[in-house]
Amino acid sequence: MTTTTKIAFIGAGSVVFTQGLLADLFAFPELKDAHIALHDIDPERLATAEGAARHIAGVRGARPRITAHAERRAALEGADFVINIVQVGMGEATRTDFEVPARYGLRQTIGDTLGVGGVFRALRTFPVLASLGADIREVCPDAWLLNYTNPMAMNVQYLTQATGLTRVVGLCHSVYWTIRDLSELLRVPHEEVTYRAAGVNHQAWVLRLEHHGEDLYPRLDALIADDAQLRRRVRVDMYRRLGYYPTETSEHSAEYVPWYLHHDGEIDRLRLPVGAYLGIVEENTAEYERTRAALAGGTPLPVEGTMEYAPQIIHSVTTGTPRTVYGNVPNHGLIDNLPATGTVEVPCLVDGTGVQPTRAGALPPQCAALNRTYLSMNDLVVRAALDDEPRHIRQALMTDPATAAALPVERIWELCDDMVKAHSTALQPGLREVLGA
């Protein structure tokens, strides 16, 4: 007798992302009859997600059991896999993350990983992760928790330290798409490229890039030397100075270092779109509305796969098919010159036994230096929540490279007070204190 695989989507109202994941899942014959349990706290978004799931199943020729749950524990009951795509506060909270710092003259592009935006996105997400972890321990303790919610590294560190869960993997498409983009740039088939990357989420490094045994970095160097427009990208600028290509976009990468956003000339030279994520928020909302209207009107929706890692992991664990994916996991001896308590991004082997991170050894020292600053800030944010210590929030942003480059310490503390006031109801009670400069 076979057992149906149960996959719970927490935050399924992120409909566009849910649709892509379901399209990937139903592309696998072995998962066409899975139990898909959808949960969201917004009834309208939950109903839209359910309608989209049923449509995609029909297009893919799948016959899953699809259930929708306003109550989270019901969705989690007996789950084999939990996909977390929660965004606490949605677009309104994101606008606050940009508008309040902007009044202080602090520039952000995406604001979901480090900096003021990343810190407060984490702090309002941690209480949800704590209760989610408690529910998983009680109703599906053997489930794999596959987290997509940003800030990835902080959330995975908090989940593992605050909840005691061990089957937690953070998933992001940045390594995959970086290699795809480099392959296209270098005009080599992606499937023929051998690569290895390691570091931290959104700031990992392409340590090896080869085509049939040929090191592709010299080819990349030649392209950059001949193309002035390529040199007007932050990640290319970082690569030229650090020697290894970073695995996130220029918009993201600019926020994690002190060198770019504080300088008008660098914003112009590198074409940095300050506040870019607000446009993405608007487009995501518009895309959701289009999806909802299409379902209500009976208009067929496009069904496209996303090549995300979660469906691949679920397929490998349930069928024993071996794969390699990139995962964000606790650094238990995986990268020698990064803190043991931090979350690192490394290749992971996946098969019927689960997800097994592989050891990367030591990073190049210049890469590790940047990653250590990133992880030090993460650690202070997680400690703020674990220890109920509001001073750690301020100290984290004093440590953050882009924030420290733009503001003196008194202004950092004043900004934190304003952000605490703005997000107060979403924060755990012990972190709502206003400390003053």
Whether residue 315 contacts residue 6, with contact meaning beta carbons closer than 8 Å, is answered with no
Any catalytic annotation for residue 39?
Answer: no
**CA dihedral of residues 115, 118, 124, 128 (deg, nearest 10):** -150
Do residues 307 and 173 lie in contact, with contact meaning Cβ atoms separated by under 8 Å? yes
Amino acid occupying residue 5: T
| pLDDT at residue 437, as a whole number | 67
Judged by phi (left if over 0) then psi (alpha if -120 to 50, else beta), residue 10 lies in beta
pLDDT in tens, 318-329: 999 999 999 999
Q: Is residue 232 part of a domain?
A: no
**Residue found by looking up tokens 């703020």 in the block:** 384
Q: Which parts of the chain register pLDDT below 70?
A: 1-2, 300, 437
Instruction: For Cα atoms 264, 423, 249, give the angle at the middle one, nearest 5 degrees.
Output: 40
In a domain, 257, yes or no: no
Q: Is residue 21 part of a domain?
A: yes
- List the CATH number of the domain containing 137: 3.40.50.720
pLDDT (0 to 100) of residue 372? 98
Q: Is residue 329 part of a domain?
A: no
The count of domains in the chain is 1
Tell me, yes or no, whether 326 lies in a domain: no
CB 306 within 8 A of CB 329: no
- 389 exposed, middle or buried (CB, 10 Å; 0-12, 13-18, 19+)? middle
φ/ψ of 327, rounded to 5, equals -130, 155
Structure tokens at 49: 């997600």
Residue 101 lies in a domain: no
Residue with tokens 């390691």: 198
Place of tokens 């704590």: 130
Nearest to 272 by CA among 243, 251, 246, 295: 251
Domain extent at residue 137: 6-94+109-170
CB 12 within 8 A of CB 86: no
Whose structure tokens read 């940045």? 174
Q: Say how far residue 131 (Cα) sits from the centre of its chain.
A: 20
- H/E stretch holding 141 reads none
The answer to whether residue 383 sits within a structural domain is no
The reported pLDDT for the residue numbered 67 is: 97
Residue 297, pLDDT score? 85
List 35, 39, 55, 173, catalytic entry = 173
Kindly state whether residue 380 falls inside one of the protein's structural domains. no
- Measured distance CA(159)–CA(424) in Å, rounded: 21
Tokens of 152: 């990835």
Give the β-pairing of 144-147 and 168-170. parallel
Q: Is 358 helix (H, G, I), strand (E, B) or coil?
A: coil
